[in-house]
Amino acid sequence: MEFDFERQSNPVDMIEFVASNNDWSFERSGEDELAMTVAGRWADYQVSFSWMEEFEALHLAVAFDLKIPDARVNEVIRLLSHVNGQVLMGHFDLWRHEDVVIFRQSLLLAGGAEPTNRQVEVLLSSAVDACEAYFQAFQFVVWSGMDAKSAMDAVLFETAGEA
């Protein structure tokens, strides 16, 4: 069955609304795209929201620069496998030609569904939280020479009690 419907608005309009209400600086680079920079604890993250009409999906990409020496690429790829095994929603990729690690996630809006401001806020915050949680693991692998498993153990280490 195929249903014909007309979308009330472009879902990127809701992103713009949420960004404006939160005083986030952003650039609307086109009808279907919005970009911003989000300052994190470990890095500044380049955030891009894109409406993908053919999939009826709002795509979020959060990237951070990571200059990876050729000798460490395979270990970063192993780390990606470990990290993606821990992430509930979304996933990390390595875009080698641009030297960035990117976290990607989509919000499906099939059938004319419209995103809510809460969905947009949670989509962005969970993506940035994922980047913040694993950023140091990437740094450990690239710059400290750690293997992927050790880097994961280091960032997932949790303390109990108080000192």
* pLDDT tens series, the chain, 163 aa: 555 566 678 889 888 888 888 778 899 988 999 999 988 898 999 999 999 999 999 999 999 988 899 999 999 999 999 999 999 999 999 998 888 899 999 999 988 888 988 998 899 999 999 999 999 999 999 999 999 999 999 998 765 556 5
Query: Could you tell me the CATH number of the domain that includes residue 137?
Result: 3.30.1460.10
Kindly report the number of other CB atoms within 10 A of residue 86's CB atom.
12
Instruction: Identify the pLDDT of residue 106.
Output: 95
d(CA 113, CA 37): 27
Residue 113 forms part of a structural domain: yes
Q: How many residues does the chain have?
A: 163
Residue 29 forms part of a structural domain: yes
d(CA 57, CA 74): 32
Q: How many domains does the chain have?
A: 1
Residue 2 forms part of a structural domain: no
Instruction: Identify the pLDDT of residue 7.
Output: 67
Q: In whole angstroms, what separates CA 138 from the centre of its chain?
A: 15
Residue 68 forms part of a structural domain: yes
Residue 1 forms part of a structural domain: no
Show the domain range for 128: 9-160
Instruction: Identify the pLDDT of residue 158.
Output: 60
CB 57 within 8 A of CB 109: yes
Residue 4 forms part of a structural domain: no
CB 25 within 8 A of CB 119: no
Residue 3 forms part of a structural domain: no
List, in sequence order, the alpha helices (H) in the chain: 11-21, 73-86, 117-143, 148-156
d(CA 60, CA 15): 11
